[in-house]
Structure 1
Amino acid sequence: MAELYEGDKVEVTVGAVAHGGHCVARHEGRVIFVRHALPGERVVTEITEIHKAYLRGDCVEVLDASPDRITPRCPYAHANGCGGCDLQHVAPAAQRGWKTAVVREQLTRLGGLDAAAVDALGVTVEALPGGDEGWRTRVRYRADALGRPGLLKHRSNEVVAISRCAIAHPEIQALDVLERRWPDRDVIDVVKPSAGPAQLVQEPPQQIEERAAGHAFAISAGGFWQVHPAAADALTGAVRELLAPRPGEHAWDLYGGAGLFAASLADAVGVTGAVTMVESARDGVAAARGNLAGLPVRVVEATVEKALHRDRRPKERLPRPDVVVLDPPRTGAGAAVVRAIAAAGPRAVAYVACDPAALARDVRTFRDQGWELRALRAFDLFPQTHHVECVALLAPADGGR
């Protein structure tokens, strides 16, 4: 087996898609994770990283193309170019098929579900309205050494200077951010709130207003909010549909942010019910308390791990929930949080996941606690990229209380 080095080029036949925006290929028995390729293609791959167990590479020439291949509409979406869009070379319907395959593979390999159980879920990634360009309402540009704005290469801090980002919201594209030099800033954040014009995020960040699920949310311009204009409504709708919270129930909203799911839950449980929201970020807690004023919601400032710890003093313990919304960061909730939720005895959990691998690992932990995955919806919140958002319904296998 010939030794390979970064910059070497090898011819490979591309295999299945893998989590992370690449496909799996093999060369002389070694695994190569190839970007900018499609399953079934024969391509020339340039090696970009060498690891003991695998290699990484970029497709630099297509010898036999897949019927799902299209010409990228962005001139920066290519090997050694902008790292933001992994799938510009893939037809839109095939992008959703790609993501569906990844979700299914993670549930079987990491979640421990058999193929029949995954088939029964009928998982398919759903498109959101608005098309696959011009959807991103929050963009973080970087400035290079000359002050030129751009975006980062894949797995790199190197800036690719650009003149246009095709997935940025049209109002963001209309700003002069990419026409200026930024000698005094390394990061240039731009936001297009749902209630207001596109604007540069100031230092310190200004307040903006987002609207979703029948509510208005005041947040910091630099704070977290879903970047697709239709995402917040799609996710709250899926949570309400799957979880089916009832009037008079008590709900937990864990990792609650600015209060999006808590507000929707409060509408469902009504004045006879209650919601307990847990958030650790101080700016998120402040925003949530303002946004949820007048609703039957208690906002707890704590990490979820601490809030669910059994040794908390009685007055600090969370009331027993009927239903739970779990919306953890990309790394997932983790085994301790999952076990604490299961021990609390809710009838159902709606798990909102931005990473299918983290979701699958936590699904396995829920299953170890005697729970089952009842339903799953997946959304293409990030067209042209490998990212996919899921909403999973979990419940005790014995039916619960």
Structure 2
Amino acid sequence: MPQATDRDSDLELELTVSAPAHGGHFIARHEGRVVFVRHALPGERVRVRVTDGGPDAGFWRADTIEVLEASPHRVEHPWAPADALLAAKAGKPPVGGAEFGHIALDEQRALKAAIFEEQLHRLAGMERSVSVEPADANDDGGLGWRTRAAFAVDQSGRLAMNAHRSDQLIPVADMPLAVPAINELRLWEQDLSQLVRVEVAAPANGSAPLVLLVPAKGASPRRLAAIAGRIPAPASVAVWEPEEQRLTRLRGRTWVSESCRGHEYRVTGEGFWQIHRSAPQVLTGAVLAGLDPQPGQRVADLYAGAGLFTAPLAAAVGPSGGVLSVEGSPGTSRDARKNLHGMEQVQIVQGKVENVLQRHHDRLDAVVLDPPRAGAGRKVVEQLHGKRPSVVGYVACDPASFARDLGYFLKLGWELRDLRVFDLYPNTHHMESFGLLVRA
């Protein structure tokens, strides 16, 4: 039997796939070793190419290159560059970012539910049945939902995306997961030389998109202006230099206008906003229904971003209440100050959540947590426990970090009153959840 070496990416195996695993993989075994296989389905017999792993590795990674026995849930992939089987025939890897596109949408949600249940069991010690809800009634086959998209630029100056876990760039000529306004810019037709990346935000409310040009070192200002001039109006165009944290307007505005449940928001440059077109409505509804904020209450909105949850919470608690809104990013915190201007009951603090909580001594009736993918962590959970709120609403974009933090809450005597999981990233392995925690 052939053995893989540390740099051997040509080893091919025939494997039978079993359960799904967190991260977009499926589990198979070869001579007792676990192999994490992408682009497969449980029950399938597949031929794979090992992409990562040597003889001493605890596990291997592999990509499916041929299906020998197909699952009844396998469908034609909606995006050719991300189709692993087509890519294998062409002798190249698939684009990352649509790794569940070969799976029927209902089955995607069933698999995500199983993955979430497994994370709860393994990391929180909890047995709980999970169902994954579609984001809206018209999910369009899991297409046309991304209001944000990031692209690389290859050496020829063409729009491209990375292969999974790789610096290799694959040219692209559309992005079917993106809302139409992003594809209508037709950036793949442009010569984007002297750029390393292009990022696009196209609000679901139909307001003007924003295109961020990330220049290569030494890029000519004249060249950047020429690229901006070819991008169709009414899109705004700006230059974003991440190392300097510098945003320079070329045309229009350096921010986009978002809206949700009667509130208006500006989101500048690379500022965070929920990606799915329906996510702000869905998650705000879950937060308000779960916390049921009342006039006069004091609420904390932690990792608050541009104020998506802060604004409706402030409206609910009214002038007699208060909302502590904490965000780490200076730019996003500045957006929050503009978005929440005039709401005297809101205290906006820019800084790390754990540092702010250490200095904050007022009582809290309820808390909303919406941390980044890494989760809130033990220290923040213990600090919140010490503030003695009666309820915590936890918005999570990663089931593993949520389950780990849930375990910390459970050990401190909290219970999970409600859990909703939303399919806000169709055709990918990602999902979003809202957990309602109360003191036991």
TM class by shorter chain equals over 0.9
How far does residue 112 in structure 1 lie from its aligned partner after superposition? Answer: 1.3
**What TM-score do you get using the length of structure 2 for normalisation?**
0.85
Q: Secondary structure at the match of 1:339?
A: helix
Q: Is the 8 A contact 1:353 1:391 kept in 2?
A: yes
CA RMSD across the alignment: 1.3
Q: Which residue of 2 aligns with 1:50?
A: 53
Q: Which residue of 2 aligns with 1:198?
A: 209
8 Å Cα contact 2:210-2:255 kept in structure 1: no
Distance (whole Å) between structure 2 residues aligned to residue 388 and residue 176 of structure 1: 28
Report the 3-state secondary structure (helix = DSSP H, G, I; strand = E; otherwise coil) of the residue aligned with 2:80: coil
- Report if the CA contact (8 A) 1:88-1:385 is conserved: yes
Distance 2:195 2:169 in 1: 13
Name 2:324's counterpart in structure 1.
276
For the pair 1:178 / 2:175, whether they are aligned, the reply is: no
Residue 244 of structure 2 corresponds to: none
Q: How does 1:2-401 map to 2 (within 5 A)?
A: 2-4=2-4, 5-50=8-53, 52-79=57-84, 80-113=93-126, 115=127, 118-119=128-129, 123-129=130-136, 130-131=139-140, 132-193=142-203, 194-201=205-212, 202-203=238-239, 204=247, 206-295=254-343, 296-309=345-358, 312=359, 317-397=360-440
Contact 2:2–2:11 (CA under 8 A) maintained in structure 1: no
Shift in alpha-carbon separation, 1:281–1:153, aligned structure 2, 3 A: same
Residues 146 and 177, structure 2, Cα contact 8 Å, conserved in 1: yes
**Amino acid aligned to 2:112:** K
* Aligned residue type for 1:160: I
Q: State the identity as a percent.
A: 43
Counterpart CA distance in 2 for 1:350 and 1:161 is: 41
Counterpart code for 2:208: P
Task: State how far apart, in whole Å, the 2-side matches of 1:103 and 1:213 are.
Answer: 29
Identify which range, 189-198 or 31-40, moves more after superposition. 189-198
Is the 2:14–2:46 Cα contact (8 Å) retained in structure 1? yes
Cα distance in 2, alignment partners of residues 21 and 213 from structure 1: 33
Q: 2: distance between equivalents of 1:40 and 1:82?
A: 24
Question: 1:323-342: CA deviations, max 9, x gaps?
Answer: 00001110000000000001
**Structure 1 position 30, deviation (Å):** 0.7
Secondary structure of 1:256's counterpart equals coil
Compare 95-104 and 266-275 and name the one that shifted more. Answer: 266-275
Q: 1:214 to 1:58 in 2, by over 3 A?
A: same
CA displacement at 1:269 relative to structure 2: 1.3
Aligned length: 385
CA distance in 1, matches of 2:367, 2:17: 41
SS in 1 for 2:72: coil
C-alpha contact 1:248 1:271 (8 A) present in aligned 2: yes
CA shift, 1:271, in A, is 2.1
Asked if the contact 1:276/1:318 (under 8 Å) is kept, the reply is no
User: For each residue in 1:136-158, what CA deviation from the matched residue of structure 2 results, as whole angstroms up to 9, or x when unmatched?
Assistant: 11111100111111111001121
Deviation larger for 38-47 or 3-12:
3-12
Task: Name the CA distance, whole Å, in 2 between partners of 1:346 and 1:54.
Answer: 43
**d(CA) in 2 for partners of 1:232 and 1:367?**
28
Change (3 A) 1:169 1:282: same
Code of the residue aligned with 1:322 in structure 2: it is: D
Partners of 1:148 and 1:286 in 2: CA distance: 34
Q: Distance in 2 between matches of 1:325 and 1:8?
A: 48
Corresponding residue SS for 2:109? helix
| CA distance in structure 1 between the partners assigned to 2:208 and 2:355 by the alignment | 39
Q: Secondary structure of 1:247's partner?
A: coil
Contact 1:142 1:186 (C-alpha < 8 Å) held by counterparts: yes
Query: Secondary structure, in 3 states, of the residue corresponding to 1:293?
Result: coil
Aligned mates of 2:50, 2:426 — CA distance in 1: 26
> 2: distance between equivalents of 1:263 and 1:244?
14
Distance in 1 (CA, whole Å) between partners of 2:184 and 2:396 is 32
Name the SS of the counterpart of 2:310 in structure 1: helix
The C-alpha deviation readout for 1:101-157, integer Å capped at 9, x for no partner, is: 1111101111111x2xx13xxx21111224211111111110011111111100112
Q: Which amino acid aligns with 2:289?
A: E
Rounded Cα–Cα distance in structure 2 between residues aligned with 1:70 and 1:267: 46
The answer as to whether partners of 1:195 and 1:211 remain within 8 angstroms in 2 is no
- Structure 2 residue matching 1:62: 3-state secondary structure: strand
> Separation in 2 of the partners of 1:304 and 1:213?
26
> How far is the alpha carbon of 1:43 from its aligned partner?
0.6
Quote how far apart the aligned CAs of 1:26 are.
Answer: 0.3
SS at match of 1:6: coil
Q: CA deviation at 1:2?
A: 4.7
Which amino acid in structure 1 is aligned with residue 437 of structure 2? L
Verify the 8 A CA contact 1:372 1:395 in the aligned structure 2.
yes
Name the aligned partner's letter for residue 117 of structure 2.
Answer: R
Distance in 2 (alpha carbons) for counterparts of 1:221 and 1:229: 18
